[in-house]
Structure 1
Amino acid sequence: MRHKKIIISSIVVSFIGLIVLLFFVLRGNFFRYTDINSMISEPKPNSLLVSGTWKLTSVTSLSDGSEAKSTDDKLYINEKFVYFEKTGTSNPKFKFRQLNFKNYLLYNGVITDKISIDSDEVIIVSIKDERNFYKEFIVLDKNKIATIHNKKYYIYEKISDDVDKDSIEKLNISENSKNSKDISFLIGVKSVGTKDVDYETFLIRKNGDEKPTINKIEGLFVNNKNKFFLVNSINDSIYVTNDYINNSSISILNVQNATINFLSKNYISIESYNSETNKKNYSIYKIGEFSDESKMSIKDIAGDRGEKAYFNNIRKLGYSSENVNSYDMKNFGVKRNNFNWIFKGILSNYSHDNFVSSEIDLDLIPNVDIFSNKSSKISKLKVKEKVQNVIDYFVSPDESLIVILTDNDISMYEIKNQEIGTLPIFTTSLKNKREVVTFQWTNSISSELTYTEFMKIKQIN
C-alpha cells in the first residue's frame, strides 16, 4: 500500500512538473513570435526610456547633410510632463515600438547616407496627448536620443535623469500655451460641372506671426491621428493608399461612375450612377474595407434609433415602408449641403407599375465617429454679411481663424472677439467651382507634421 502511494505521488509530481515545463515553453514561444509593434503598453512611473532632461548637441539638415548651429535648447520628459521646442503637454501618453532604423528613416523621408546608423534596430517612443501634441523619439542608447523636426535631424544627450521642478514652473505650460500658434487647415474638394470629376487637397498653414502659406496636391489627403493616407480615383475605381509617395499597396473599390462625396479618417461616402439601369446609388464604407459585403447599413451608422428614424422619414414623405429591403437600408450616404454634412438616401418605390427611385434627406444621428467637425459660434448670417457669395465656411477650433469658400476662391480671415477681420490674410483662386469632400484642422506639432508629410507629395502649381 505504501509503495502504491509513492507511485501515485511520483506520477502527480511528474504531471505537475510537465505542466510547469509546458507553460514556460509556450510562454517563451509566445514572446518570441509576437510582433513587438503590437506589444504597446503604458510606461510605469520613472521607467521611461526617454525620461529626464536632455541637451541639444547636434542638428543635421536632411536636405544637404550640413551641420546646423546647435543651441542650448533643452528637452524635458517625464511621465507627467513633456516640453519640446516651445510646445508641451502635461498629460502625455507613451507607446513603444522596435523598428528597423534604416526603414524608419526612409519612411520619414530621410536620406540615410546623411545620418549615422550605428544599429539595425532601435526603439521608437511615440508621445502624444488628447489634444494635438505628438512627437516621436529614437532611442540611440541610454544617454542619447534623436528626433526629426523641421526637415532636420536633432540629437539630444541626457544631462539629468530628472526634470527640475523650477524649470517646469519657468516654462509655464498651461492649457493655452499647449496649443501652439502653428495651425493648419486641410480642405479636400472635388470639381463640379466638369466631364470628369477630379479631386484636390489644399493645405493652408498659419505659423505664428508669419504669413499663411498654401500648397496643393492631387487627391484627398487625410490625417488620421498623425498617420496619413491618400484617396483618389482612376478610371472606374476609387483607391486608398497609406503609401502616399509612390501610391503602391493600394486598396481599390471598383464602382462604375463613382464620385466621392464625403471622406473622414474612418469613413468614405460614394455616389455612383448605373447608366444601364439609370439608377443613382449612395454607399458608405469603412476606410480600407471595400466590397459590396462591407457596405455600411443605417443600423451600422446610427443603430436601432437610426432605423426607426429612417422609417419615420419615409412615412412622413408619404411612402410605404412595406417594400423597403436590406438594399434600401444600405443605399444612403453623406453630402455637404448648406454648410453642413447631410445624410442622403435613395428610396426605391416598387408599389407603382414603373420603378421609381427618390432621393430623400435622412434625419440620422450617428453613434460612430464619422464627423469630426464641431459647431461654431460664428453664425451663417455673420459670414454672409462678410462674403455674400459664400458657399461654405470653416472655423478653427480656437475660433481665431475662418476659411471661406466661394465659387472663385478660398480665403482665410482672422477672428477677434467673434468678429471677422475686414480683409482676408490669404486668398487663392480656383479654376472652377468646387465642393467640399473633407476638411481638418490641426495645430501645434501635429500641424508641423501634417505639413512635412504633405510636402513629400508632388505639389500642383
Structure 2
Amino acid sequence: MKYKKLIFSSIGISLFCLVILLFFVLRGNFFKYTDINSMISEPKTNSLIVSGTWELSSITSLSDGSEVKSSEEKLYITENFVYFEKMGTTNPKFKFRQVNFKNYLLYNGVVTDKINIDTDDVIVVSIRDERNFYKEFIVLDKNKIATIYNKKYYIFEKKSDNVDKSIIEELSLDESSINPKKDISFLIGVKSIGTKDVDYETFLIRKNGDEKPTADKVEGLFVNNKNKFFLVNANENEVFVTNDYINNTNKISLGVKNATINFLSKNYISLESYNAETNKKNYSIYKIGELSDESQMSIKDIAGDKGEKAYFNDIRKLGYSSDNINLYDMKNFGVKRNNFSWVFKGILSNYSHDNFVSSEIDLDLIPNVDIFSNKSSKISKLRVKEKVPDVLDYFVSPDESVIVILTADDISMYEIKNQEIATLPIFTTSLKNRREVVTFQWTNAISSELTYTEFMKIKRSN
C-alpha cells in the first residue's frame, strides 16, 4: 500500500510538471504571433553600426513594387550628426532593437511581396532628437541599410565608414534642417486664368526667424537651380529662358507661337500650344538649356520603356486602337497641375473618314528622371479643405512647419504644429485675378537668403 501511494504521487508530480511545461511552451508560441513586442529584442551590442557615408542605390514603390531610378541622394550618420532628405540633427539619440523582418514590414504597412526578404531577423536603428527629427533604418548587412519613406522603400550602400568633416560643416550651415524656423522661403510661379492674354508672376514669401513673413512679386517665372537663377516668360510669339534677368538679354528662345507654360522646374518645362490652321492642341516637354524643336522629349525620354508600355495600356483601357500611334503622338504629352498634384496629360489624334478628332487623356506615367522636386506631405487634402473650404492648391514646407494655401483671391501662409494647421494665417497677399500654379520651390537658410537677394534685384529693375 505504501508503494502504491509513492507511485501515484510520482505520477501526479510528473503530470503537474508536464502541464506547467506545456503551459509555457504554448504561451510562448501564442505571444510569438500575437504580441508585437515579442518580435522586438535589444541586440547584444549597441555599437553605431549605421555610421558612415551612404549612397542611395535603389528606390522601390510600395504601391506597385516598381523600381524608381535612384537619385544622387546621400545619407550621412555619425554619433553627433545625421542628415537625410534635407533634414538633419546635431543631437541624435540612437536606439537599437532586433526584430522579425517580415513582421516589421507588415507592422509598417508594407506588402512584403514587394520587398526582397533575405533574412528572418534584422536590427532596426531608431534615430531621434529633442525637436522633430525621427527616422528608422533597417540593417540588411554591414554595407547595406534600408528605410521606409514617402511610400517608398529606400536602399543605401555604404561608401565610407566616416563622414568628411567638410560635408558636416557644409550641411550644418543649412540650419533650417536643424532649426526650421531660422529662414525659409517659398517661390510660387503662377499664370492668369480666364483672361485673354496669359501673363506670369512669381511670388516670394519669406519667413526669417520670428519675423513676420514678407511677400514680393515680379513678372515672369523665377527659378532657383542650386543657387543659380533663371527667369522664364512667354508671349504670343515665343517662350524664352534667360539668366540675365536684370537686362533681360541672352535669351534662349523656343519658337512656339501661342504657347502657354503649364509646368516649370529647375530642369524641365512643359508647354501647351494651339495651331489655328490645323485646329490642333499640342502638349510638349523640353529640358531647360536645350530648348529647340529637335530637343522635344518623348515619353520614353521621361519614363523609359515602362512609360511607353503604360502609355499604350492607357490607350487600350480607353478603347482606342494603338495601331496608328506614331512618334509625334509619343511626344504630344505634358504636365499640368490638377487636384493638388502634377499629372501627365496626352493628346491622342484619331483619323476617321477624313475627320480629325483630338482627345485629351490622363497618362499613368512614373518618371525615371528628376522632373518633380516636390515631396508628399502628411497634411491631407481633407484637413486643408476643412480649414480653407475654397482652397485651390496648397504646399507644405519640407520640414512641415508651415503651409501655403492658394485660393482664387489670395495666397496665405499658416503655421503647422503637431501636424495641425493654425486657425489664422500668419501672412496673406491678395491676387488680382484667378491664378493657376506653374512652378513652386522651397528654399531655406543660405539658399533662402540668396534667393531673396536675387529676387529683389529683379523687383527693383521692374
TM superposition score normalised by structure 1: 0.62
Tell me which residue corresponds to 2:256: 255
| 2:174–2:446 CA contact under 8 A, matched in 1 | no
Tell me which residue corresponds to 2:303: 302
Tell me which residue corresponds to 2:265: 264
Alignment partners' CA distance in 1, 2:191 and 2:233: 10
Alignment partners' CA distance in 2, 1:260 and 1:175: 34
Deviation at 1:429, TM superposition (A): 0.7
Tell me which residue corresponds to 2:336: 335
Alignment partners' CA distance in 2, 1:213 and 1:176: 18
Cα deviation digits, residues 250-288 of structure 1 (max 9, x gap): 100111210000000000000000111111000000012
Write the letter of the residue equivalent to 2:437.
Answer: V
Cα deviation digits, residues 90-146 of structure 1 (max 9, x gap): 9xxxxxxxxxxxxxxxxxxxxxxxxxxxxxxxxxxxxxxxxxxxxxxxxxxxxxxxx
Tell me which residue corresponds to 1:285: 286
Change (3 A) 1:389 1:210: same
Write the letter of the residue equivalent to 1:386.
Answer: K
Cα deviation digits, residues 273-331 of structure 1 (max 9, x gap): 01111110000000121222110000000000000000000000000000000000000
Alignment partners' CA distance in 1, 2:175 and 2:249: 40
Cα deviation digits, residues 148-194 of structure 1 (max 9, x gap): xxxxxxxxxxxxxxxxx9xx99xx99987645520000000000000
Alignment partners' CA distance in 1, 2:446 and 2:279: 49
Cα deviation digits, residues 196-229 of structure 1 (max 9, x gap): 0000000000000000000000000000011000
| 2:188–2:204 CA contact under 8 A, matched in 1 | yes
Tell me which residue corresponds to 1:358: 359
Alignment partners' CA distance in 2, 1:252 and 1:246: 16
Of residues 374-383 and 176-185 in structure 1, the stretch that sits farther from structure 2 once superposed is 176-185
Tell me which residue corresponds to 1:72: none
Change (3 A) 1:350 1:235: closer
| 1:377–1:418 CA contact under 8 A, matched in 2 | yes
Write the letter of the residue equivalent to 2:265.
Answer: S
Tell me which residue corresponds to 1:393: 394
- The residue matched to 1:262 in structure 2 has which SS? strand
Aligned length: 298
Residues 19-418 of structure 1 mapped to structure 2, 5 A cutoff: 178-179=178-179, 181=181, 182-418=183-419
Deviation at 1:246, TM superposition (A): 0.8
Alignment partners' CA distance in 1, 2:407 and 2:257: 30
Task: Give the RMSD, CA atoms, in angstroms.
Answer: 2.5
Cα deviation digits, residues 375-433 of structure 1 (max 9, x gap): 00000000000000001000000000000000110000000000000100001110000
Of residues 208-217 and 349-358 in structure 1, the stretch that sits farther from structure 2 once superposed is 349-358
Alignment partners' CA distance in 2, 1:330 and 1:173: 42
- The residue matched to 1:243 in structure 2 has which SS? coil
Cα deviation digits, residues 323-344 of structure 1 (max 9, x gap): 0000000000000000000100
Alignment partners' CA distance in 2, 1:239 and 1:174: 32
- The residue matched to 2:250 in structure 1 has which SS? strand
Write the letter of the residue equivalent to 2:397.
Answer: S
- The residue matched to 2:323 in structure 1 has which SS? coil
Alignment partners' CA distance in 2, 1:173 and 1:262: 31
Cα deviation digits, residues 38-87 of structure 1 (max 9, x gap): xxxxxxxxxxxxxxxxxxxxxxxxxxxxxxxxxxxxxxxxxx99xxxxxx
Alignment partners' CA distance in 2, 1:175 and 1:456: 25
- The residue matched to 2:428 in structure 1 has which SS? strand
- The residue matched to 2:359 in structure 1 has which SS? strand
| 1:179–1:444 CA contact under 8 A, matched in 2 | no
Write the letter of the residue equivalent to 2:187.
Answer: L
| 2:272–2:283 CA contact under 8 A, matched in 1 | yes
- The residue matched to 1:249 in structure 2 has which SS? coil
Cα deviation digits, residues 17-37 of structure 1 (max 9, x gap): xxxxxxxxxxxxxxxxxxxxx
Of residues 348-357 and 305-314 in structure 1, the stretch that sits farther from structure 2 once superposed is 348-357
Alignment partners' CA distance in 2, 1:287 and 1:297: 15
| 1:272–1:280 CA contact under 8 A, matched in 2 | yes
Change (3 A) 1:291 1:422: same
Aligned-pair identity in percent equals 84
Alignment partners' CA distance in 2, 1:392 and 1:293: 34
- The residue matched to 2:391 in structure 1 has which SS? coil
Write the letter of the residue equivalent to 2:246.
Answer: I
Write the letter of the residue equivalent to 2:400.
Answer: E
Change (3 A) 1:210 1:367: same
Write the letter of the residue equivalent to 2:434.
Answer: K
- The residue matched to 1:458 in structure 2 has which SS? helix
* Structure 1 unaligned spans of 5+: 1-79, 82-87, 91-164
Write the letter of the residue equivalent to 2:369.
Answer: V
- The residue matched to 1:453 in structure 2 has which SS? helix
Tell me which residue corresponds to 1:441: 442
